[in-house]
Chain A
Amino acid sequence: RKEVEQDPGPFNVPEGATVAFNCTYSNSASQSFFWYRQDCRKEPKLLMSVYSSGNEDGRFTAQLNRASQYISLLIRDSKLSDSATYLCVVNPRGGSQGNLIFGKGTKLSVKP
Chain B
Amino acid sequence: DAGVIQSPRHEVTEMGQEVTLRCKPISGHDYLFWYRQTMMRGLELLIYFNNNVPIDDSGMPEDRFSAKMPNASFSTLKIQPSEPRDSAVYFCASSLKPNYGYTFGSGTRLTVV
Interface residues of A (CB under 8 A from B): 31-32, 34, 36, 42-46, 49, 87, 89, 91, 93-105
CB distance from A28 to the nearest CB of B (A): 17
Contact status A96-B97, CB under 8 Å: yes
Which DSSP category, helix, strand, loop or mixed, fits chain B's interface?
strand
Contact status A34-B101, CB under 8 Å: yes
Task: Give the number of residues in B that approach A within 8 Å (Cβ atoms).
Answer: 18
Q: If the complex has contacts A102-B42, A104-B42, are A42 and B106 also in contact, measured as CB distance less than 8 A?
A: yes
Contact status A99-B48, CB under 8 Å: yes
CA gap between A43 and B33 in the complex, in Å: 14
Contact status A44-B98, CB under 8 Å: no
Taken residue by residue from 80 to 113, chain B's Cβ proximity to chain A (1 for < 8 Å, 0 otherwise) reads as 0000000000010000011101111111000000
Q: If the complex has contacts A42-B106, A43-B106, A43-B107, are A99 and B101 also in contact, measured as CB distance less than 8 A?
A: no
CA gap between A96 and B98 in the complex, in Å: 6
Contact status A100-B98, CB under 8 Å: yes
Taken residue by residue from 46 to 59, chain B's Cβ proximity to chain A (1 for < 8 Å, 0 otherwise) reads as 00100000001000
Residue of A nearest to B96 (CB): A96
Contact status B104-A45, CB under 8 Å: yes
With A46-B103, A104-B42 known, 17 other A-B pairs at CB within 8 A are: A32-B99, A34-B101, A43-B105, A43-B107, A91-B99, A93-B98, A94-B99, A95-B97, A96-B97, A96-B98, A97-B98, A99-B48, A99-B56, A100-B33, A100-B101, A102-B42, A105-B42
